[in-house]
Structure 1
Amino acid sequence: MAVLVTGVAGFIGFHVARTLLARGEEVVGIDNLNDYYSVALKESRLAELRPHNRFSFHKLDFSDDVTLMETLRDAGIDRIVHLGAQPGVRYSIEHPMAYAKANLVGHLSMLELARHTPGLKHFVYASSSSVYGGNAKQPFAETDPVEHPVSLYAATKRADELMSVSYAHLYGFPQTGLRFFTVYGPSGRPDMAVWLFTEALFQNKPIKLFDDGRLLRDFTYVDDIVAGVLAVLDGPPNGERPHRLYNIGNNKPEPVTKLLEIIEQAAGRKASVISEPMQPGDVPATYADIDAIRRDHGFEPTTPLEVGVPRFVDWYRRWRGL
């Protein structure tokens, strides 16, 4: 039987699929390869996965429920890792309909696929730390109220969680939502701070620090994220409680200024900095309480910023041929 990974050409989806293949799983990947960021980067990830004889890929948009069902009806899937989505807080300000299609209609399409998949063992899906909005209490815990999102992106992710709760109640198949906290690492997303800072540094362009650099983020290395995703995938909730939510983060908020300092050290360059005000939809800090996922699945992040960021910078040099 196979694991379906949506967004398989995306950052986290690629790393999850690669690790599943490495442990001997059969993986079915889907992605629509949209141009939100470099399609060439997405294709390069797929190029690493395609040689595996246990990997198959379908280019499709999972918000198209008819095509989704027709394509995957006989794919032999028994687990789903739904990571595909329209990401980005700031992009949602200017392109709201992209989020309605991918994150709302798309999530519902995936839930429909899941409930019509005989013998489905587990449906794991990506949520986001953004659902906590501007919560003042730190660290963010899964029991905290999340009814005041400050971006459309956050609102769609919270809606996904609620849809999953209803489907778990109605149809009983096990589901787990994961609230990711600022994931970074090799082959990362070009719209994230780690990439943006590194690229600006190598291009001798100024780097924008929002809120005068006072922002705090719980930066989480992708290998730690993948370990958590697979641990959760392998431990579905029981029948009495078919839906669960977990934070998955590094459990250590770091100043964005520290991120920049480590990038400067790894690149051997000094940045020119421009201070900018806080952006609409942004929050001053994120900080994951990971007691629940630690207790239930043994999750323990092991990669500090000082180790993970130089790995990204090394990868970026190779990617750009520097």
Structure 2
Amino acid sequence: GTFELLEAARAYPPKHMLLASTSSAYGANTDMPYQETVKADHQMSFYAATKKSTENMAHSYAHLFDLPITMFRFFTVYGPWGRPDMALFKFTKAILEDKPIDVYNYGDMKRDFTYVEDLVHAIRLLIDAVPVRPENGEVEEGDSLSPVAPYRVVNIGNNDAVQLVDFIEAIENATGKKTERNLMPMQAGDVPATWADASLLKRLTGYAPQTAVPEGVASFVRWYRQYYNA
């Protein structure tokens, strides 16, 4: 699918092509917060591997056809209108229905939860941050701009690693209900923690996501109750 989009862009070049990747591309890296300039070669899931592959494909098109491309690495996006199979939806539904929830790695997990409105605002600002092929291959320190193409990778995250149990407590507080937790081992292909270094985003746009988890979760639960009449 990404190849077809890149072929379309080659035929009809856009002013700036923006594609979604994932924080999962960092894979087995343990040095946090994750910076876009670190090596990311050990993806832990096939999903992450496909996303890293699309980054590589996009870079080659940017180099060969001078297409300005920015790849976004999203960090655990949550909020209204999200996917019902994701943790926040499943947890909220179960808690409101007085059902237990499955908590992986026995609750010892951290995520850089990023509220959807912050994500959208960051994307809108990055539209105007068009990468330019650097002269003489020189790139400023801390910038993920390619030395040979108008191509850049940008983290979009809240710049904060939050414990999963704290995220669950925020849902309980927003719903006014406690839940039973089924503590489970780690799922294959998952990672114990993610944490974005969002300094490049701030440098390019002057903006950094800032919605705290309790605030974002409460907003989601209000939407959920209204939308599903729960």
Out of 173, 185, 197, which is 2:91 matched to? 197
User: What whole-Å deviation, never above 9, does each CA across 1:162-209 have from its counterpart, x for those lacking one?
Assistant: 000000000001000000000001111112111111011012111111
Q: Which residue of 2 aligns with 1:138?
A: 32
Amino acid at match of 1:281: G
The residue matched to 1:127 in structure 2 has which SS? Answer: strand
- The alpha-carbon deviation at position 134 of structure 1 amounts to 2.0
Q: How does 1:9-158 map to 2 (within 5 A)?
A: 106-118=1-13, 120-158=14-52
User: Does the alignment pair 1:171 with 2:79?
Assistant: no
- The alpha-carbon deviation at position 299 of structure 1 amounts to 2.4
Aligned pair count reads 216
Out of 172, 181, 184, which is 1:264 matched to? 172
Q: Which residue of 2 aligns with 1:303?
A: 211
Tell me the distance in 2 between the aligned counterparts of 1:239 and 1:132: 24
Dislocated runs of 4+, deviation >2 Å: none
Tell me the distance in 1 between the aligned counterparts of 2:108 and 2:37: 27
**1:178 and 1:246 in contact (8 A); partners too:** yes
- The alpha-carbon deviation at position 152 of structure 1 amounts to 0.2
The residue matched to 1:134 in structure 2 has which SS? Answer: coil
Amino acid at match of 2:94: A
Amino acid at match of 2:8: L
**2:161 and 2:194 in contact (8 A); partners too:** yes
Out of 154, 161, 166, which is 2:55 matched to? 161
* % same residue: 46
**2:71 and 2:154 in contact (8 A); partners too:** yes
**2:133 and 2:151 in contact (8 A); partners too:** no
**1:134 and 1:284 in contact (8 A); partners too:** no
**Normalised by the size of structure 2, how large is the TM-score?**
0.92
Q: Which residue of 1 aligns with 2:104?
A: 210
Tell me the distance in 1 between the aligned counterparts of 2:37 and 2:132: 20
**1:128 and 1:179 in contact (8 A); partners too:** yes
**Normalised by the size of structure 1, how large is the TM-score?**
0.66
Tell me the distance in 2 between the aligned counterparts of 1:256 and 1:275: 12
Out of 280, 291, 295, which is 2:199 matched to? 291
Greater relative contact order (Cα 8 A, min sep 6): structure 1 or 2?
Answer: 2
Amino acid at match of 1:274: N
Pairwise CA RMSD: 0.9
Unpaired runs of at least 5, structure 1: 1-105
The residue matched to 2:189 in structure 1 has which SS? Answer: coil
Amino acid at match of 2:154: Y
Tell me the distance in 1 between the aligned counterparts of 2:54 and 2:74: 14
